Each structure stands twice: as structure tokens, then as C-alpha cells.
A and B are shown apart, each in its own frame.
Chain A
């Protein structure tokens, strides 16, 4: 009925199929939690090295258990509810942030055997299945839906605290996340256009060699826009105005403590991992192997785990990149943030999407590629000129009226 997993089509409780699905759920949950724990450690360690200090090094080897210690400490703290808070919404909000962050895992292909053009199915307990919790036909749209649900967690947390700094933080957050979702969706649409399917496993399957990776077939630009918009969507630096501690104390989560604060913290770092996973899935072939020296089975000795290792390696690159952003880039001002989102990213991604669609139609109709490119470029330049002109006019008007901020 739900078509999420072909194993579930005619399911009987207490059967091997059911067992496999349960195992998948447990593995995804545990890997998510442990991964988040390691991510917090990774981020602190890498930032420390970039800032020429040592970072956590007391708990466990190289300080790897520091997060566990911090987590335990948080659980034993007293959970306060502010007097002015809207109690029900205040308690609900952390879960609204946490659950979507976790659910994104379920549609990311987490591994499988793709060497030699296989389609990634593996055998577990004698049943062929994909290493992916759910493979709904609208996989990619589910990602968008979950990221739009995640807005509620932050928004309601800030509002229900009944305090002004969290409210300011959450108003900023919701405006920012809604704004950048458009650019995110448009660059996503480019990938969908080139791969011709919405399902995440289908998108991975269409990227069977480096020249077929979406980052190449869509022409790099959508990837860059997606990366920027994803950073803003996660509220990570340089787009962390939501919790700009110099201005807003701590942002939307100022009034939270104990377990509920831990949930926000967990959601934030889990989002970083899942977003890296999404980027790798969409643009870099997910668990598809990279061809090195003409062989795509360099990791053959790992057998069915090789796909997962490839995914992990690619995800690590992006995790490092996000930490690097945080260590390097200063925070944007609010008007710069909105300018970048609405006046730069959205028009560019829209124009690029239209150009790709134009090429696609041209391919079907057998038109001359040079003519298509020229015409497309001319239209884009014309629109860009108009946009510039409109911007100039509005800037002049604003100057005449006196700046409002």
C-alpha cells in the first residue's frame, strides 16, 4: 500500500522480511546516533586544529568520548520550563526539530554493491534488498517536505519560550529557512531533470560513472547553489544568525535546558550529516564507486560493504567542508543574507534550470546546440539586466526615502 519497500508488499508479521526491515530500522537509528556523536567530536577537533589549539583530549582516546560525557551531563540536568512559556508547544518543539532530522536518513541509499554496473541490491538472509530504509517513488520530495517540517521545531521553540531573544531568533530562522528553501528546491529540480526520476535510489543508479555524476551533468552551478542553500537551511555558519550568540544570547534555544536542549543539539549535528549524505546522493553518486585507474572495484576486498565505505568517504569530505566553513567564514549580516538568497541564488538557479530544460527539449527535438546555448544565454542576460535595473531603481527610491534599518 505504501510502496516504500518492495519487501513490504505482502508482509506477514513474524517473517524474515519483517525481521530485515526491523534490523534496518535499528541499524539506521543506531548509526545515526553514533554518527552524530562522532560528528560533534570531529567538528570540535578539526576546528581546534584550524585555530591552533588541541581541543577535547581527556575523555577516551583523543577525546572521542567527550560528546558522550557532555550528553550524559545534559541528561542529568534539571529540565526547566519558563514561567511565561506555552507549556505544550514548548515541550513539543524539540521533537519537531529532532524527528525530521532523523527521518531524512530513511531515504538516503546507505550502501550496496554497485561495482560493474550492478544496481545496488544486496542479499540479507536470502532476500534481495536495497541498503536503504525506505525507497518511496517521491524520495527527493520527501527531503524537501522534511526540511520544511524542521522549520516548525525552531520556530515554535522560539515562540513558545515566551522570551524576546528566542522569539527574535526564531523569526529570523523561519524567514531564512523559507527563503533558502526556494533556491534549494530549484537546484534540486536540475538534478531531477537530468536523472529523470524522483526516487533517491534511481538518482544514484543514474550516476554510474564520474562523467554521469549529477555535478557534471547539471554543470556544477546547481551543486554550488545547493551547497550554499543547504548551509543556510541547516543554520550553520556563516548563516547562523538564528543563534548569533553576540546578539541573541543563544538564539531560539536560549530557554531550553537538559534533555530538550540535547535534542536540539543532536538535531543540528544530525542535519549536518544527513545534508552531506543528501549532497553526495544527489550530486556525487552516493554509494557508487569511483573509478581509479580504470577499475571501479578498488575496494573489492570489502565485498558488500564497499558501497557504504564509498558513501562514508564522500560524506566525510563534505563534513570537513562544513566545519571548514565554520572555522573560516564570518557571519553574514541579516540584509546580506536576504540579498544573497532572493536576489542572487534564486534568480541564478531559476535561470540555470530553464537553460537545462531548454537543452533537454533541444535534445529531443534535434535542435542545434550552439543556437540553443546562444538563445538561452541572450534571454538570461536580458533578464539579468532587467533585474539589475529594478534593483537600481529600488535602491535609489530607498535612498531618497532614507534607509529604514
Chain B
């Protein structure tokens, strides 16, 4: 049963990921991305990480990809893009190098950890005590307890990003330069 779920979800993830790259239409690519996200959510559920699965769907599928689609629909991205035009010259060779490096890194990690994955990991104390809500409690303790500083800093970063976007997107009044304050 678990193998079956893994195979199906894995196929969803890989198929979606391929679709994102291969599909020429941006909306279809975004839909493939949703397929990938759902596959990951299913894998989370199979590992009994229900909270992560729900958050994956709510945040990524429910908000971020909706935003992507919103932008695509409003701006009406061109259907075909000329591949010969290279706006940033070094990016293709660099992309190949980074891609190969990433694949070999993940491959090495899998090979190196093969013996260790056979051993059953010890369940977290909190999760073991209360299997129903344990997931949520464990994550909350971790995020709002141990890593609270990093968490708050992240939110500050997001606020800065929002403020920056608002300033960049603001239409300057007549005769005003952005940043001059007048």
C-alpha cells in the first residue's frame, strides 16, 4: 500500500515537474506545478505529516500559484518566446553546470545515506505522546520556541519586500523622482 502511494505520488511529482519545463504555454506550466505540489502533499500525508500537507496545499497551491496564474492572466504572456534571444549571456552554461552539480549532489546524498534509511527513525517525543495533534504541537514548539528569532526575522524580511514592492510599483507624480522624497 505504502509503495503504491509512493509510486503514484512520485509519478505526480515527476510528471508535474517535467510539465513545468516542457509545456510551452505558461498556464499549462503553472497547472503542472500544482500537480507537483499535490504530489508532494500526498507524500507528506503518507509520512503522517498531515499539517505539512495541509500547509503545502493552502500556501503553495492555494495562494502562490493562484498569484502566478493571476499575473499570467492579467499580463497575457506571449505564447511563444524566441529561444535564440539570449538576454543574459552566461546563464545557459551556468545553468548546465549548476544542474549537473545538483543532480550529483542529491545522488551522492542518496547513496551515502542508504544504510541509514533502513533503520527506523525514533519518533519525536511529542508526536509519540499525542498522535492526533502531536504534529502541529511539535512544529509550533520548534518554530515559535527554538527558532523564534529566525522566524521573526523572516517576517521582517517579508515586510521589507512588501514595502519595497509598493514603492517600486507606485506611480510617480508629475515632476517627481522616485526616492527623492519630493
Q: Do A and B bind each other?
A: yes
List residues of chain A with CB under 8 Å of any chain B CB.
1-3, 86, 88-89, 136-138, 141-142, 144-145, 147-149, 151-152, 155-156, 159, 167, 170-171, 174-175, 178, 181, 197-199, 202, 400-401
Indicate if the CB atoms of B69 and A155 lie closer than 8 Å.
Answer: yes
Chain B neighbourhood of A144, CB < 8 A:
54, 58, 62
Indicate if the CB atoms of A1 and B136 lie closer than 8 Å.
Answer: no
Indicate if the CB atoms of B1 and A152 lie closer than 8 Å.
Answer: no
Jot down 16 A-B pairs with beta carbons below 8 A, ordered by A.
A1-B5, A1-B46, A86-B27, A88-B28, A137-B135, A142-B54, A145-B54, A145-B58, A149-B62, A155-B69, A156-B27, A156-B69, A159-B69, A170-B73, A171-B70, A199-B132
B36-59 contacts to A (CB < 8 Å): 45-46, 48, 50-51, 53-55, 57-58
- What's the least CB distance linking A307 to chain B, in Å? 21
| CB closest chain-B residue, reference A3 | B48
Chain B neighbourhood of A155, CB < 8 A:
66, 69-70, 73
- What's the least CB distance linking B12 to chain A, in Å? 15
Indicate if the CB atoms of A138 and B61 lie closer than 8 Å.
Answer: no
Chain B neighbourhood of A149, CB < 8 A:
57, 61-62
- What's the least CB distance linking B117 to chain A, in Å? 18
Query: Complex Cα distance A315/B53, Å?
Result: 30
Majority secondary structure of chain B interface residues (helix, strand, loop or mixed): helix
Is the C-beta of B169 less than 8 angstroms from some C-beta in chain A? no
Query: Complex Cα distance A155/B72, Å?
Result: 12
Is the C-beta of B92 less than 8 angstroms from some C-beta in chain A? no
- What's the least CB distance linking A95 to chain B, in Å? 13
Indicate if the CB atoms of B27 and A89 lie closer than 8 Å.
Answer: yes
Indicate if the CB atoms of A138 and B70 lie closer than 8 Å.
Answer: no
With A86-B27, A148-B58 as given contacts, are A141 and B66 in contact (CB-CB < 8 Å)?
no
Instruction: Give 8 nearest A-B pairs by CB, closest first.
Output: A148-B62, A141-B54, A145-B57, A138-B50, A137-B132, A138-B54, A145-B58, A144-B58
Number of B residues near A (Cβ < 8 Å) is 34
Indicate if the CB atoms of A152 and B45 lie closer than 8 Å.
Answer: no
Indicate if the CB atoms of B66 and A152 lie closer than 8 Å.
Answer: yes
Indicate if the CB atoms of B70 and A145 lie closer than 8 Å.
Answer: no
Is the C-beta of B34 less than 8 angstroms from some C-beta in chain A? yes
Indicate if the CB atoms of A152 and B34 lie closer than 8 Å.
Answer: yes
With A1-B48, A171-B73, A401-B171 as given contacts, are A138 and B136 in contact (CB-CB < 8 Å)?
yes
| CB closest chain-A residue, reference B55 | A141
Is the C-beta of B95 less than 8 angstroms from some C-beta in chain A? no
Query: Complex Cα distance A257/B1, Å?
Result: 40
- What's the least CB distance linking B176 to chain A, in Å? 10
Indicate if the CB atoms of B1 and A138 lie closer than 8 Å.
Answer: no
What total of A-B pairs shows CB separation below 8 Å?
91
Query: Complex Cα distance A148/B61, Å?
Result: 8
Is the C-beta of B14 less than 8 angstroms from some C-beta in chain A? no
Is the C-beta of B74 less than 8 angstroms from some C-beta in chain A? yes
Indicate if the CB atoms of A151 and B66 lie closer than 8 Å.
Answer: yes
Is the C-beta of B31 less than 8 angstroms from some C-beta in chain A? yes
- What's the least CB distance linking A71 to chain B, in Å? 29
Indicate if the CB atoms of A197 and B70 lie closer than 8 Å.
Answer: no
Indicate if the CB atoms of A3 and B2 lie closer than 8 Å.
Answer: no
Chain A neighbourhood of B114, CB < 8 A:
none
| CB closest chain-A residue, reference B56 | A145
Chain A neighbourhood of B74, CB < 8 A:
171
Indicate if the CB atoms of B51 and A401 lie closer than 8 Å.
Answer: no
Is the C-beta of B133 less than 8 angstroms from some C-beta in chain A? yes
Indicate if the CB atoms of A178 and B66 lie closer than 8 Å.
Answer: yes
Indicate if the CB atoms of B73 and A197 lie closer than 8 Å.
Answer: no
Is the C-beta of B89 less than 8 angstroms from some C-beta in chain A? no
With A141-B54, A175-B70, A178-B66 as given contacts, are A198 and B133 in contact (CB-CB < 8 Å)?
yes
| CB closest chain-A residue, reference B42 | A2
Chain A neighbourhood of B58, CB < 8 A:
141, 144-145, 148
- What's the least CB distance linking A94 to chain B, in Å? 15
Chain B neighbourhood of A88, CB < 8 A:
28
Is the C-beta of B116 less than 8 angstroms from some C-beta in chain A? no
Indicate if the CB atoms of A148 and B50 lie closer than 8 Å.
Answer: no
Partner of B50, one of A136, A170, A197: A136
Kindly supply a per-residue 1/0 record for chain B positions 104-147, scoring 1 wherever the CB is within 8 Å of any chain A CB and 0 otherwise: 00000000000000000000000000011101100000000000
Is the C-beta of B177 less than 8 angstroms from some C-beta in chain A? no
Query: Complex Cα distance A346/B25, Å?
Result: 35
Is the C-beta of B173 less than 8 angstroms from some C-beta in chain A? yes
Is the C-beta of B63 less than 8 angstroms from some C-beta in chain A? yes
